[in-house]
Structure 1
């Protein structure tokens, strides 16, 4: 089989979630994933493996972001609860999150409706200069292992033997790999800035720097959301006690060099937030830089007809929320072309 009716452009977590959603609906055997970088690669321009990867309050307050977050949280929890193979590198983790400024009422109302074990932290228990806090059960992911695991699963026969091809397209049109290609899912992240046929002026990179450590005593997720910064401590499941410490949100900064003063700041801030990091057991493994694929006004999930019989579904610009919102975005993206998908033959679903 040619597997060319559906092309997914991009193999980060956004593209992988689209492939998974299509596979579950029985369309796996029609799919080719084309990407410059594939799971297992280590490159500064391949953002997904660098993620702390959790569910948090980092996302925006617009209705789409709130809806995608809810769908993502519930979908990931369902995978864990059911013991699904896709949940191999996911874990339920206790979380504490602080906000320096009061979150919007819409944000608080939305998340408290579905987060498990959620409770507002009494003001007397908040650190200095913190306006609001929540405790709840979050989801943490081992980002690089999860992406590689999804690729492995999606390549299997019962998922449709989805084909993965390492290739760099020169334009969006190049993703229509044959006359049979009906749908291209555009999940290219930061490449949306420059790829001919997309070149979205609303897109920009948001630089982040993290410190990967081994810290056996860290068992919880802790975050503090500031006006111009993020401090976070995110344990990685099934990773020999490794923990992601961060971080930075530097809009439009594309410098890939590690900055020593930022490393020191991360260690200081995270140690203040969770003093157990200063118990002498914490071992620095790596310092890394990555670029969140951000977009003014939020992610773009939109259908576009570029020629008769050629449809693109844009699905990019999630910023730092790809892991928590990606499954919700995938649901919307796939539903946008249900009419075309209905014309393709199905195999039995998972």
Structure 2
């Protein structure tokens, strides 16, 4: 008979939630328990997901996995933006990105093959909005000091609200959430019924006994939350040693996320006034609408992206639990790309356990008889 804790997901950040979402789409929700120290709605320095900007962009890697995950993530997020934008807090948003130094030409070409480039219908009010078409900007349209730029239709996500949306959807599909800090990876097998664990522990993968992956490290970011109702477009400037970005936050009454910093190996959760000042100066130069008297600085936050040398780890493993070998799937190390890559990563993680999941699906059918 199928059990609620047959599948355990450790971690309730966007990576763990996306794994549960993919499994629930396959009808396995009633067999899933998510165990985590922090849940959607919480805030903590090492609970990275609520602090994200967050948007779809070209900031991710250029390796084959990153390209694949981006494409799958874009399709998933635009589907949510069509079917349930208000509920999921995902919206299509025009975007412009600039590069001052290295230009990822192959990545830009790959993106151009699947990005939307047509007039889109707003599914909420029925009106039409002209979104930005995918276009490589000519040299005479580039700001001073910029080597390349593109415009396209991206998506923006209200990170904390989106996680709460996913939790609600998962609970409705039968997923159980348990707040608990596990002492080690083995403890993820929470009962004799647990047959499969997904390790989606993010930064904790560095220190959690049973994992202790020394390739994992924090990448600190500081951002500013501001109210800027005149800003309707994503703007990003990729520099040699910095990232500057302006990301509207859906469903927030005109709030935007301004950033930022990519400080590798820094685990400091404090915020600093000089960094806030730098962010405000850089973003105001990038989009002069921020210089409007209507712009109001609300708060500054810092978060630790769960980065990993060599990229994300999605790998099947075995672990000994009370003398028995049990299957385990690792899925962590997305860095700052968890929202755009997470769905594609989840598909790969689930695929790695396909044989176990087929057996669990049979059990679930038998339980209904």
TM-score tier after normalising by the smaller chain length: over 0.9
In the TM superposition, residue 84 of structure 1 has moved relative to its aligned partner by: 4.1
Q: CA contact under 8 A between 1:182 and 1:309: conserved in structure 2?
A: no
After superposing the two structures, state which structure 1 stretch, 98-107 or 274-283, moved more: 98-107
Q: 1:189 aligns with which of 202, 215, 218?
A: 202
Aligned to 1:266: 279
Deviation per residue, 1:287-320 (Å, 9 max, x gap): 0000000011111111112235511111100000
1:311 aligns with 2:313: no
| Aligned with 1:205 (options 195, 218, 243) | 218
Confirm or deny: 8 A CA contact 1:17 1:327 kept in the other structure: yes
Match of 1:61 in 2: 62
Q: 2:269 aligns with which of 230, 236, 256?
A: 256
TM-score by length of 2: 0.91
Cα deviation code 1:53-79 (max 9, x no counterpart)? 110111111111111111100111122
Secondary structure of 2:73's partner? helix
Matches of 2:104 and 2:43, distance apart in 1: 37
Q: Where do 5+ consecutive residues of structure 2 fail to align? A: 118-133
Question: In 2 relative to 1, CA 123–33 (structure 1 residues): closer, same or farther, beyond 3 Å?
Answer: same
Q: Partners in 1 of 2:352 and 2:313 — Cα distance?
A: 13
Contact (CA 8 Å) 2:316, 2:327: kept in 1 or not? Answer: yes
CA–CA distance in 1 between the matches of 2:47 and 2:61?
A: 23
2:137 to 102, 112, 121: 121
The structure 1 segments of at least 4 consecutive aligned residues displaced by more than 6 Å after TM superposition are: none
> SS of the counterpart of 1:190?
helix
Residue 4 of structure 1: how far off its partner (Å): 1.1
- 1:177 aligns with 190
Contact 1:181–1:310, Cα closer than 8 Å, also in 2: no
Indicate the SS of the match to 1:26: coil
Distance 2:182 2:206 in 1: 14
Deviation at 1:86, TM superposition (A): 9.0
TM-score (norm 1): 0.95
Residue segments in structure 1 that go unaligned for 5+ positions in a row: none
Residue aligned with 2:256, SS: strand
Partner of 1:49: 50
Contact 1:102 1:132 in 2 (8 A): no
Indicate yes or no: 2:104 matched with 1:104: yes
Is 1:95 aligned to residue 111 of structure 2?
A: no
1:287 corresponds to 2:300: yes
Which residue in 1 is equivalent to 2:254? 241
Q: 1:222 aligns with which of 235, 238, 244?
A: 235
Instruction: Give the number of aligned pairs.
Output: 344
Give yes or no for the alignment of 1:32 onto 2:33. Answer: yes
Would the aligned equivalents of 1:79 and 1:86 in 2 still touch at CA under 8 Å? no
Distance in structure 1 (CA, Å) of the matches to 2:187 and 2:85 = 33
Q: Which residue of 2 aligns with 1:15?
A: 16
Q: 1:110 to 1:346 in 2, by over 3 A?
A: farther
Asked if 1:326 is matched to 2:348, the reply is no
Aligned-partner SS, 2:337: helix
Structure 2 residue matching 1:234: 3-state secondary structure = strand
1:138 aligns with 2:154: yes
Aligned position for 2:125: none
Secondary structure class of the residue paired with 2:274: helix
The whole-number CA distance in structure 2 between the counterparts of 1:85 and 1:309 is 43
For the residue of structure 2 that corresponds to 1:343, the secondary structure is helix
What is the CA distance between 1:181 and its match in structure 2?
A: 1.1
